[in-house]
Amino acid sequence: MCQINVGKNEATGIPSEVLESFLKQVLLREGVGRFDASAVSQGLLDASLRGVDSHGIRLFAHYLAAVRGGRVNPRPAFSLQCTKSGTGVLDADHGFGHAAGKKAVEHVKELATINGIGAVSVKNSTHFGAAAYFGNEIARSDMLGLCFTNSDPLIPPTGSSEPFLGNNPICFTAPILGEDPFCLDMATSQITFNEVLRLRASGESAPAGAGYDQCGYETVDPKKIVSLAPVGGYKGYGLSLMVEILCSLLAQMPYGPNVGHMYNDTLEKRRHLSHFFLAVDIGSFLDIEKFKTHIAALAGDLRNQIPVDSNAPIQIAGDPEKLCREQRLAYGIPISEVEVELFDQLSDLYGISWRESSD
């Protein structure tokens, strides 16, 4: 077995293709359709490779429980309605969000190829993982991608104490000459709730202004944090609301506090999540090679800016993930003890090895 360790808190580094194949095989054995199993395993490994561990293979246990519990439909009948020449609505039939997103991205790219721009709204979906998985797929087709999803209520509107909106992500992608796409994939909260949980466990304080207590007052004590501050105060609140409108209102799905919880609800309960995908065909504005050259120059100019700290060179959005991806492609994906235990159990259950690289 591959024993190379990358980063912290991991026991082993496993080649991503081995893990992707293993997770896909498990999902197939669990009755998940081929397209869906492929999308989920690919999406999870894509996030793990880029170091976005909160949205990587760590989620597999939850996804498995959600499909076993009945929340996720393992063999959804996606229904795509083409509403105008540049727009469509996909009913995901409560299937995996990764699969619904992948189907929506296929369609939105077709729309943008024909019309120069296209948008697809997705309804009756579930958690789709990291938005970057879809945004990068759009950018790899020489398009600009904008991907959004709504999520569990975590952010109170400015001035209130009650969580209402999700930390709804904004993902923007663009192709760059000679490297993986430019990828901004940001939550609209300052820190994630996973980070709060980590701080609680480690005994560290939260950054000032990142979380609120039950009464809606700012606190740095992670044990008291029950809701998250939007990025930049009322501006992040506005951005989160923008995403909520683009997702739940266009898809006619529940919004804000009516959205099904990822962890706090029973695993039988449908979540009725909604997403919005938008693609802009760059070739409809200028020669694509010219664009990719110009954006590479812009990225280069930014990275060449003089840093305040000479040990911390200037980056652009997505650079840390690109560096991590290179490392993990070379040295494998780190696996936690919890994952080792789960994968061993599944390996025994189905007679599929996840340690093939050691053979």
Chain residues 203-262 in contact with its own copies, contact rule CB under 8 A: 215-217, 231-232, 234-239, 241-242, 244-246, 249-252, 255-257
Is 70 or 283 the residue whose CB approaches its own copies more closely? 283
**Candidate list 1, 80, 184, 267; residue touching its own copies; CB under 8 A:** 184
Q: Which of residues 299-328 bind its own copies (CB under 8 A)?
A: 301-302, 305-309, 312-317
Q: What are phi and psi of 165, to 5 degrees?
A: -100, 155
Q: Which of residues 80-109 bind its own copies (CB under 8 A)?
A: 83-87, 89
Burial annotation 167-194 (CB, 10 A radius, 16+ → b, else e): bbbbbbbbbbeeebbbbbbebbbbbbbe
Is 40 or 90 the residue whose CB approaches its own copies more closely? 90
**Candidate list 164, 277, 343, 354; residue touching its own copies; CB under 8 A:** 164
How many whole angstroms from its chain centre is CA 78? Answer: 21
H-helix segments, 203-252: 234-244, 250-251
- Minimum CB separation of residue 199 from its own copies in Å reads 18
- Minimum CB separation of residue 206 from its own copies in Å reads 15
Query: What radius of gyration, in Å, describes the C-alpha atoms of the chain?
Result: 20
- Tell me the C-alpha to C-alpha distance, in Å, between residue 224 and each of 75, 200, 205, 217, 220: 41, 9, 11, 10, 8
Q: What is the DSSP secondary-structure string of 166-220?
A: ----EEEEEEETTEEEEEEEE-SBSS-HHHHHHHHHHTPPPPTTSEE-TTS-B-S
Burial class of residue 315 (count of CB atoms within 10 Å of its CB; 0-12, 13-18, 19+):
middle
Number of residues that bind its own copies (CB under 8 A): 77
Is 15 or 156 the residue whose CB approaches its own copies more closely? 156
- Minimum CB separation of residue 261 from its own copies in Å reads 18
Is 225 or 342 the residue whose CB approaches its own copies more closely? 225
**Candidate list 77, 114, 329, 338; residue touching its own copies; CB under 8 A:** 114
Is 46 or 244 the residue whose CB approaches its own copies more closely? 244
Q: Does 158 bind its own copies (CB under 8 A)?
A: yes
Q: Which of residues 7-36 bind its own copies (CB under 8 A)?
A: none
Q: Which of residues 117-156 bind its own copies (CB under 8 A)?
A: 117-119, 121, 144, 156
- Minimum CB separation of residue 246 from its own copies in Å reads 7
What tokens does 112 get?
């943008």
CA 243 to CA 230: how far, in whole Å? 13
CA 315 to CA 186: how far, in whole Å? 15
Q: Does 69 bind its own copies (CB under 8 A)?
A: no
Is 214 or 358 the residue whose CB approaches its own copies more closely? 214
User: Is the CA virtual torsion 98, 100, 101, 107 positive or negative?
Assistant: positive
